[in-house]
Structures are given as structure tokens and as C-alpha cells.
Structure 1
Amino acid sequence: MLLVDDLRLEADILPLFNFTHCHAAEAAVRGLLRELPASTELVLQKQTVFRALLAQWDVIGEFSYSRIQLAEVQRFLYEVVSGQLALEANRVRLAVRLLVSEETRYRTRARYVQAIQFLQRLEQHYFRRLEPAGLPPFARARLATITRFLERFSLNSAAEAVAQDQFSAARMVDFARQLHAVSEEELAAFWAAFFWLEACWSVSKGLQEQGFVFPGFQPAGLHLTDFYHPLLAAPVKNSLDLDPADNVLLLTGPNMSGKSTLLKALGLCVYLAHAGLGVPAAAARLPFYSSIVVAINLADSLSGGYSHFLAEIRNLKAVLEAAQGPGRVFAVFDELFRGTNVDDALDITRATVAGLAAFPESCFLISTHLLQLESQLPAQPGRRTFCIECRLHEGLPVFSYRLQPGWSQLKIGRILFDKEGLPELLKG
């Protein structure tokens, strides 16, 4: 089960990793961000790709090309390989055509030269220099697809002839024959591998610029050191250590204290870890979760005909059904059951928190404004209570955004109500 829309992956997180030069590579970055491998081993293999590229950053770090040139070379290669454009493969006939028409000579030569220079630069500056040994097998195979394709052409000698103004009709014919020998499947495989590798480079660049760290996986217990949400300009970093037996975390704190942001940051760290990427933290260790749910902004469904509260109920039901399966569940609920009245919310929240103890392998994080819960919840192993620090200074709240153990009973609604002068306005 995967429900992470509230993390706003494409709107907020994708730009952190997108340094690509074309739409196809950007789509591949989106795929890397959305892809969650099915096991710890596969996650670590995906990590290895980014680690290997970062280890060879002196080779791949300045990867670039012209977007316009790419489009023109792509179109040229596709037209030739698909048979839409038949290149002259006879040296004598080509030489005559080039002599007869200056326009034909210029146009034909320009397309050949552009393709040769584009492909030769990629081969010599990047792909030939990349060391495949550090890559996992599936990544080595994609790199090999690229290098094998480029090696089909005499790029170095052709580029040298172009540089010396000796790119003759004979050389054009040689290149044409090499192009005609490429199948549509080979060309498609080359571009797919090329854009995938560019996407991996782009993600690696994002990880480096953001300073994200690769997490480690362990059988149980969740440990995040100095984690934060990467969209904050000056984030307050927090740490969280949950023992293997801790499976329910209750979070309290007044409005505007930062509960939702902290839960989003936690959810983002867990998600990015499972996507094989680095996380916004100084260090991270966590179990492998087969289901990840982050419910921060559940909305009413006008088309479906159900309210916010029913959306919460159905979401919780899906999480519990997933928790009854063989895998672990990581779930975040922000202000659970805020869609119903206080009495109902208190009753069913108490039942929910108590019932979640039946799933010790999973991890549930719940924020709440139901301060009465503190005295009504029975002692229960596996449940931890945290709050976000807030204090009053001269009658006004001061937020530190610091996570700390304990339960917050601070109420600031009335304080802010009075501060804005609403009692006087209500008197008319």
C-alpha cells in the first residue's frame, strides 16, 4: 500500500533532483523518484548506482549537452533508422549530388557532422570514461547498451576528419552505412539507457547539492539524526530514536508549532529511503516497510459523496488491513479524526491507539489535539509520547519547533483569539 500524495513529490521534491536537459530525462527522474524497489536488497542496489556516480563525479559531474542539438540528432537518427530518410550509400552518386547542389552539400554535411560531434562528445567525455565496476549488474548492462551503440560508428576518426575539414563524400557514405545497419530496437534501447543514466546523474547531483545522506536498513527500530524538511529555508533539525518495541508515537503541540511539517519531514525521510535515494538528515537507520502512508491533508470527496471523516475511516481501515499482511507498515496520521465531533474523536482515537499495539512490527505516528487522551490512555508497551516545544513569553506563544519527549497541554487558541481583538469586535 502506498499513499504519499501529501508529500507533494512532483511539485516540491522533484525539482530538488531535476537537473536534466530534456523532457525524456526529466520523465526518467520522475520514474526514479516514484519507483520503490520491492526489497531491501533492491533498494541498496539502486543506492549503489548513485554512490558509484558520485564516486566518479570528476568524470560525470559536468555532464551536459545542447537540448536543441539533442532534438535534431534524435530526429535525424530516427528518420534514418526507421527508413523515412534514405541516405546515399554510393560514394560516386553522393559525390556528384554534392557537386551539383551547394544547398544539398551544406544540408547533408551539416546533419552528418552534427550527429557525429554530438555522439562523439558523449562517448569521449563521459561514457567511455565511466568505470562500470562499481555499478550493479542492471546499471552496467544499461551503460554497456550505450557504449556498444556508440562503438558501432567510427566517431573518433569521423570527428577528426570534420575538425580538419576533410569530411569527404566517402566518409559520409561510411557513416550512412553504419546508420543503416542500426535497427529500430537498438536505437530505442540506446535512448532509453541514455535518458535513464542522465536521470541517475541528475538525482546524484541533487543528492550532492542538498547534502542528503544514504540511509541504512536494519531489522527494527527507527533512528533519524538531525532530520528536516528540505523546502524550509532555515529548518530546525530534530532527531528521533525509536526502539524496536516502539510502534506507536503520539505527537502533541499547539497550533502553528510545526507538527504537520515535522510529520511530513519524517514521512519524506522514510519514503526517500525506500526509493533508494538519500534523505534530508545527518544519519538514518530504519526497517524496510512494505506499505507507506502519509495522511496529512485528507480531503472531502464531492464526486465520491463522502466526508472528511469517512475518508479518515477508510484510510485507517486500509492501513490496518495492510498491517495484517506479511509486511511492515509505516503510517502517519495528522490530527486523526478531526473530521468528527470531540466526543466521538476522543472515543475512537482511544480505541485506535490501543488497538495499534497489536501490530508491533509496524510503526504508526499520530498527531492529536485531544489533550484529554493523556489521562485516558492505559499504560501500554510500545507507545511513546512526544511534543513540540512551545512556551509563553509575556503572554504570547514562542515556538522553538523542537521535538522532545512528553505531552503538551499548552492551549493558545484563546490567546490568539484575544490578541487579534476578536472579543471587542464581537461586542459590536
Structure 2
Amino acid sequence: MSFAADKQTIEDLNLLGKYKPQSIYSIFNKVKTLGGERLLDAMFKHPLTDPDIINRRSDIFRYFREKDLVFPFQPAVCRIAEDYLSAVIPGNRIQATFSVFRKKALEAFLRDEQFAAIYSGLEATIEMLAKLAELLRQLDGKPGDPYYEQALQLKNILADPRLFWLSQEKGQQLSAMKVAKYDFILRHSLRHEMEKVLIGIYELDVYTTVGSVAAERHFSFAKALPASQNILRAVALRHPALEKAVGNPVSLHGDKNVLFLTGANMAGKSTFMKSLGIAVYLAHMGFPVAAQNMEFSIRDGVYSSINVADNLNMGYSHFYAEVLRVRQAAEEVSNGKNMVVIFDELFKGTNVKDAFDATLAVTSAFSKYLNCIFVISTHIIEVGEALQDHTNLQFSYLPTLMEGNVPRYPYILTAGITSDRHGMMIIQNEGILEMITGNNNTTTIVR
């Protein structure tokens, strides 16, 4: 079973997108090779659901963060080597040798570039393999290290007797005979081994990159637990794309599986909820998370309703689009899936009375699915008061502090239900009513 996150959730959390501003993918996309980028894409699109596999990948990333190694391969060299190695030589040694000499002759008489392409590909491959050997020596792993088995496989390939010439030929001018000989070895005799080498280099690209990002941004590695333990805990959880983000604790489990969140606009509710959803997604990838510490039970997926828009083509109003999102979440949850569900400002597309009734009913109904985790926010604080008899709900808010007439937002999660009602004061601070009534000259706007 694969980890589920639909298109709306991916967009809500801004997870994917190479060129999207502040996308989570762009934070980690510092890889140097095209193969490394393909591997990174695959990891982002296919989070894991096996705690052992997740923890194993996390251990490898942590290992490379601690090693603090620089990926030594030049992107251009890797591209040339990959193109060269991907072209398989047909036939036998004699045919391959004849083909190389024929291309050499064509180069001399007709300025044909086929031999030059083989030569540059061979030269790039020799350089790449030499750098790989040096990097593996720097790792100098021992049995039990997270990367030991993968490193040993690559070392065994490089130790093949058919590659004894590598250390001798680096940087040397090669004769046509040597080109033919080495070309046949790399692209015919050791074709499958060279494919494994390329994959190993792409993995090293991702491992060193993710480890470096974790060190630079002070991310930590979450511990994956079996689904049966049903917990989600984090210390100093924050948004990974914000440089000065405030960290907050999270502790949700079977006895307290619903976080009911209140607070004013701009107090940080949406950012907090996105931070949680992003951390859950990255943790299931085995990637580092923006927290001091995190442990989580494996989930079947994460589902959010944060930036739901109307659909003019389908004729859906904003409210109806919200209702459909809740229905989709209900289908997932009622089918027995262990989900993390995030609802930001439920039913804001309808009137206050309907929003109150609907939020109360939906929260009450979802809270009974103790195998799932829910985070639900609302402006309608009276809903929280009506839910006080639900023992499995946690009530938290993000406060607004008034300094005179100016609001300040500390972004610190606080137990309870907010009593903040500063909306009208903010409207007055912006001088909106004075603009409308034309009394600008008599009012001082506080900013």
C-alpha cells in the first residue's frame, strides 16, 4: 500500500514543484546530477509506509549529515558519462574494436565526430569512477553502518580485475587500441555493473544533498513506529520554508486524537497546520523534518482542506467545494484508513449559523475515529465550547497580543480556546471606515 496525498493536499502543503516559490521540493533540490534529480522526484512522489524501510533511509541521511561530505562529481562529467554508458555496444570484441578503428579513420579523413564522442565519454567515465573510488575511501565504513552494504557493492565493482587499469589511465592520453579495449569492457563486459555504478552515484548525490540540507537548516530525523502505536509527537515543529519560524509542540494519540485550533487571522493557524502536514509527509519519505524531535506511527496518508477554491467549470460554489472535500475525507476515514486529516476554517463559505452547526457536527463525527489524527481550526470559538464534553479533543489557540491598538502575533501554541476578538479594531486601524465615509482628516490611523 502506498502513502496517499491527493492533488489538493499536495498544493495546500506546497510539496512539489521544481520552480514553485518556497516549495518543499525546492528546499531539497540541490542535487548535482540529472539522475539524482530523477531519484529525488521519485522519493517525493512515493512516500513509504513501512517503518523499517523509512528508518533505514533516515539512518542513511543522518549518516551522510554527520560525515559532512562534498559530492565530488561534476554535473557535466556525469552527463557525458551517463550518455556514453547508456549506449550499449553490440557484437563481440573483434567487431567492437573494428568499429572504433573505423570511427578513428573517419575522424582523420572526414572530420567525423563519432570517435571524439567515444573518447570524451570514456574519459569522463574514467574520471567519474576515480572520484567514486576516492569518495568510498573517505566513507571508510564498517559493518553495521547504514551505508555499508551499498558502499561494499560499489567497492566490489571497482575492484573487478577487468578494471585494474583505471588508476593508471586517469588523465593519460589514450591510444585507439586502448580506447577500443576499455570501451568494450565498460559498455559490454561490465554493462550491468556500470548501470549499478550510475545508480549508486545518483543515490550518493541525494544522500549528500539531503544530509547537507538537514545540517544547514537544523532539521532532525523522525522515528517511524508501527501503525498500532497510533501516535504523532514533535518538539519545536516549524515550517521548513520560513527562516525565523517559531517552533511548537505537538502530541496526538489515540486518547487525544483531535486538535481543535482557534485564533485570529494572521495568528498563524494555517502555517502551523501546514507545518504539521509537511512534517508528516516528509517523515514518511524518511527525510529530515523541521523539528527538534519527532516520532510518528505510520499512516495511510495525509488529507487537507486549506486552500479550497470554487470551481466555475463544474458550477461549484466555495461552500459546496468545501463540502465535497469533507465528503472525500469521510470516505477515506470510514473505509478504515489511518489518516492525518487537516481542516483549516471549515465551512467559511456559508453563514455563521450553518458554519457553527456543520463544524460542530463534522468534528464530533470525525473524532470517533480514534485510529486517525485530526487537526481542525475555526474562527467560531463557540464550537469549541460546545465540544468540551469530548474527552479525546485537545483545545489550543494561537494568541493575538495587543500593544495599544496594534496586534502582535507570537505564534506560540497555547492550551485552551481563544477569547481574542480584535477584528473590528484592526479594521479601524486601517482607516477603512474613514475612507468610505470621507472623514480621513479627523482620524489617526495606527499602524
TM-score (norm 2): 0.82
Counterparts in 2 of 1:362 and 1:91: CA distance versus 1, 3 Å? closer
- Uncovered stretches (5+) of structure 1, i.e. residues with no partner: none
Aligned counterpart in structure 2 of residue 216 of structure 1, from 223, 226, 234: 223
Structure 1 residue aligned with 2:14: 8
Structure 2 residue aligned with 1:286: 296
CA offset digits 1:324-381 (Å, max 9, x no partner): 2343211111101112221111111111121123211211111101122244335111
Structure 2 residue aligned with 1:20: 31
Residues in 2 aligned to 1:239 and 1:49: alpha-carbon distance in whole angstroms? 26
Over aligned residue pairs, what C-alpha RMSD do you find? 3.4
1:322 to partner: Cα distance? 1.9
Structure 1 residue aligned with 2:48: 37
Structure 1 residue aligned with 2:76: 68
Q: Which amino acid aligns with 1:160?
A: Q
Q: Which amino acid aligns with 2:376?
A: I
Residues in 2 aligned to 1:33 and 1:99: alpha-carbon distance in whole angstroms? 45
Aligned counterpart in structure 2 of residue 333 of structure 1, from 343, 349, 362: 343
1:272 to partner: Cα distance? 1.4
Aligned counterpart in structure 1 of residue 206 of structure 2, from 162, 177, 199: 199
Q: Bigger CA drift: 19-28 or 361-370?
A: 19-28
CA offset digits 1:68-95 (Å, max 9, x no partner): 2222222223335368xx986269968x
Structure 2 residue aligned with 1:113: 123
Matches of residues 71-90 of structure 1 in structure 2 within 5 Å? 71-81=79-89, 89=97
Aligned counterpart in structure 1 of residue 255 of structure 2, from 223, 245, 263: 245
CA offset digits 1:78-132 (Å, max 9, x no partner): 335368xx986269968x9599779789946555333322222223333795637
SS at match of 1:46: helix
2:388 is aligned with 1:382? no
2:373 is aligned with 1:363? yes
Q: Which amino acid aligns with 1:329?
A: M
Mapped contact 1:334–1:367 kept (Cα < 8 A):
yes
Mapped contact 1:227–1:265 kept (Cα < 8 A):
yes
Residues in 2 aligned to 1:402 and 1:92: alpha-carbon distance in whole angstroms? 69
SS at match of 1:323: helix
Mapped contact 1:357–1:382 kept (Cα < 8 A):
yes
TM-score (norm 1): 0.86
Counterparts in 2 of 1:229 and 1:171: CA distance versus 1, 3 Å? same
- Uncovered stretches (5+) of structure 2, i.e. residues with no partner: 439-447
Counterparts in 2 of 1:180 and 1:289: CA distance versus 1, 3 Å? closer
Kindly tell me the number of residue pairs found equivalent between the two proteins.
420
Q: Work out the percentage of aligned pairs sharing the same amino acid.
A: 25
SS at match of 1:332: strand
Q: Which amino acid aligns with 2:13?
A: L
1:245 to partner: Cα distance? 0.4
2:58 is aligned with 1:47? yes
